[in-house]
Amino acid sequence: MNKKLLLLFLITVCSSFSKKVDNTYIDRQGKITFFSYTPVENIQATNTSVLSVLNADNGEIAVEVLMRAFEFKKTLMYEHFNESYIESDLYPKAILQGEIVDFDSKAQNQTKIVKGNFTLRGITKPVEIKVNIVKTNNYYLINGELEVEINDHDIRVPKILSANIAKKIQVSFNFQYESYEN
Amino acid sequence: MRIKHLIAVSFLCLGVVSSSLAQDSLLDILKKESSKEPQYTIATFQATRIQLSHSVQTRKKNTLEISAMTRYWNTPSETNNAFVAERMSARFGLEYGITDRFTFGAGFSTINSITDVFMKYRLMRQQDNGGNKLSITLLQTVSHNGKNSSFYNVVNSESFSEKLSFVSQLLIARKFDRNFSLQIMPTFIKRNTIIWPSDDQNHFALGFGARYKVGRHVAIAAESYYISNPIESINTFSPFSLGVNWELSDLMLQFKMTNTPNFVEEAFITRTRRNFNFKDGNFFFGFHATYFIQF
C-alpha cells in the first residue's frame, strides 16, 4: 500500500515537473514600439530585444523591457529618454506580470484580455490589454496595443517642451514564443 | 488511516508548493534569461563642450551640430553707454559625426579672426558594469590666426603656415555617479611662429573640468587649466569658466561666467590676459547655443 502510494507520489512529482518545462514558452527578441503623437513632433522608438515568458498551462505571462534597448531615429533622443525622462540608471527595466484571461492553449486564433500589473519607473499600475493570440505548430504569436499615461509613471516633461511629448504614449507589441528549454 | 491522512496532506502541500513554484518561475526565468551584457555609460557630459573645452562626448553618425558661441564684456576705460555690453565676440561652428566615434568640425571666431578645424575620436567608452571605468577621447585642432596685430596676439606671421597653431588633447573622463562627472585634459600646444624670443613655441597644460547635474535637464559645469610654461612677453592667467548647461530637446544652451573672450583652445589656454573677477574688463558673460540636426 505504502509503496504504491510512494510510486504515485513520485509519478505526480515527475509529471508536474515535466509538464512545467513543456508548457513554458519564451521570446527573447520580442518587439515593442512606442509612439508619441503631437502636432509639433512625432517620436517613435523600437526595442527588438524584449524578453517575455508564457506559461501555456494557465496563461500566465511575464514581460521584461530593457529601457536602454529602445532605439530612436534621432540619436540625441536616446540620451534624453534614458537620462532625463525614464532615468534608466535608476529604473533599468519595465516589467509586466499578468495572466491571459480564459487562455485556451489549443485554439488556433483567439482574442483575449491580459490582466496584470505594469511596472515602469518603479511605479506599478494595473492594466488590461486586449491581445490577439495565434497558435502555429511550434509558436504562439501574441500582439496588441496599450496606452501608457506619462503622469501615471511620474515621467515629467518640462513645461517648455510639453507640446513636444504626448500625455498618452501608444505602445504596440509583437511577440513570437517558442518552447522554452532550460 | 493516519498514514493515509498524512499522505493526503503531503499531496496537498506538494500541490501548493508546486503551484507556487510555477507562479514564481516566470519571473525566475526572466531573471535567468535577462541580458547581462555591459552597457556603455551615456551622457557623461550633456554636450560636446563642458564649458570652454571639448568634453569626451561625440555625436552619433550622421548628426550635425550647429553652434553659436558668444561672449559679452565691458571695457574698464570706456563709458559709452552701450546696450547690455560694450564688446562682444562670437564663434560660429559646425560639427559632423562621420561615425559614432569620429567627429569632424570647423568654426570661425570673430576675435583675432581665428579659423579652426578639429578632429575628435572617441577611443574608449566607460561601461556601467563592465571593465572600462573611463572614457578617453582624442582631440586634434588646427587653428589659423587671421589677424596678427591684435592686442591679444602673440603670433608674428605673414605666410599661411606661420599663422597656424596645433593643439593635441587627451580627454579622460569618468562619470562617478548619475550627477557628477570629472574630466582631465593633458594638453600639448604648438605654435608655428612667435613674436618674442622669450616666448615658448610649445606649451604643456593640464585642464580640469567637471559637471554636476542639479535637475533632469540642468547641470552646473566648471573648468580651468594649469599651464606649465605660460607666455612670458605678456601677462597671462589660467582660463576659468563656471556656468550652467541647459538641455532642451534639440537645443543646448550654455551660460557661463569666464575670464576669456576666446573660443579656440590655443587662444584661451595660453592667451587669457585677464584674471577672473567681476570688474569691468575682466568679467566675460558667455552664451552658447547648439542646435542638433539628424540626417
Quick check: is A14 in a domain? Answer: no
B22 vs B32, residue with greater confidence: B32
Strands A60-66 and A93-100: antiparallel
Q: What is the pLDDT of residues B149-186, one digit of tens each?
A: 555 555 556 778 888 899 999 999 999 988 999 999 99
Q: Which chain A residues have any C-beta within 8 angstroms of a chain B C-beta?
A: 2, 5, 9, 12-13, 16, 20, 24, 26, 28, 49, 51, 53, 55, 57-58, 60-62, 64, 66, 68, 73-76, 78-80, 82-85, 87, 89-90, 93, 95, 97, 156, 158, 160-161, 164, 180
Which residues fall within 8 angstroms of residue B216, CB to CB, at 6 or more apart? A83, A84, A85, A87, A156, A158
pLDDT at B212: 95
B274 vs B286, residue with greater confidence: B286
Quick check: is A23 in a domain? Answer: no
Maximum separation of any 2 CA atoms in chain A, in Å: 78
The stretch B80-91 carries a mean pLDDT of 78
Query: Residue A122 belongs to what domain range?
Result: 29-177
pLDDT at B19: 47
The stretch B256-270 carries a mean pLDDT of 90
The pLDDT mean for chain A works out to 84
Quick check: is A182 in a domain? Answer: no
pLDDT at B5: 65
The stretch B212-231 carries a mean pLDDT of 92
Grade residue A18 by pLDDT with cuts at 50, 70 and 90: very low
CA B21 to chain centre: 51
pLDDT at B16: 47
Quick check: is A60 in a domain? Answer: yes
pLDDT at A20: 46
The stretch B267-287 carries a mean pLDDT of 86
pLDDT above 70 covers what percent of chain B? Answer: 85
Which residues fall within 8 angstroms of residue B49, CB to CB, at 6 or more apart? B55, B254, B288, B290
Q: Rounded to the nearest 5°, which phi and psi values hold at A154? A: 55, 40
DSSP state of A8: H
Q: Which three cell numbers stand for residue B210?
A: 567637471
Residue B83 confidence (pLDDT) above 80: no
Interface test with B, best of A76, A91, A155, A165 (most B CBs within 10 A): A76
Q: If you measure CA to CA, which chain B residue comes closest to A77? A: B249
pLDDT at A33: 93
- Whether the pTM exceeds 0.90: the reply is no
Locate cell 563592465: which residue?
Answer: B130
Based on its alpha-carbon atoms, the radius of gyration of chain A, rounded to whole angstroms, reads: 20
Grade residue B87 by pLDDT with cuts at 50, 70 and 90: confident
A83 vs B96, residue with greater confidence: B96
Residue A127 confidence (pLDDT) above 60: yes
The pLDDT mean for chain B works out to 84
Quick check: is A113 in a domain? Answer: yes
The stretch B286-291 carries a mean pLDDT of 93
pLDDT at A84: 87
**What CATH number is attached to the domain comprising A37?**
2.40.128.110
pLDDT at A162: 85
Which residues fall within 8 angstroms of residue B61, CB to CB, at 6 or more apart? A75, B97, B98, B99, B100
Grade residue A157 by pLDDT with cuts at 50, 70 and 90: confident
CA B63 – CA B100 distance, rounded (Å)? 9
Yes or no, beta carbons of B217 and A49 under 8 Å apart: no
pLDDT at A11: 54
pLDDT above 90 covers what percent of chain B? Answer: 46
Quick check: is A5 in a domain? Answer: no
pLDDT at A19: 45
Tell me the DSSP string of B21-41.
HHHHHHHHHHHHHS-----B-
SS3 A128: strand
Grade residue B112 by pLDDT with cuts at 50, 70 and 90: confident
Quick check: is A2 in a domain? Answer: no
pLDDT at A161: 85
Yes or no, beta carbons of B43 and A180 under 8 Å apart: no
ipTM: 0.75
Yes or no, beta carbons of B25 and A5 under 8 Å apart: no
CA A3 to chain centre: 46
Q: Where are the beta strands (DSSP E) in chain B?
A: 63-73, 87-97, 102-109, 114-124, 135-145, 164-175, 180-191, 202-213, 218-227, 240-248, 251-258, 284-294
Range A42-80 burial, b when 16+ CB lie within 10 A, else e: ebbbebebbbbbbbbeebbbbbbbbbbbbebebbbbbbb
Grade residue A5 by pLDDT with cuts at 50, 70 and 90: low
Number of compact structural domains in chain A: 1
Grade residue A13 by pLDDT with cuts at 50, 70 and 90: low
In this structure, the dihedral spanned by the alpha carbons of residues B120, B123, B128 and B133, taken in order and rounded to 10 degrees, is -110
Grade residue B104 by pLDDT with cuts at 50, 70 and 90: very high
Quick check: is A45 in a domain? Answer: yes
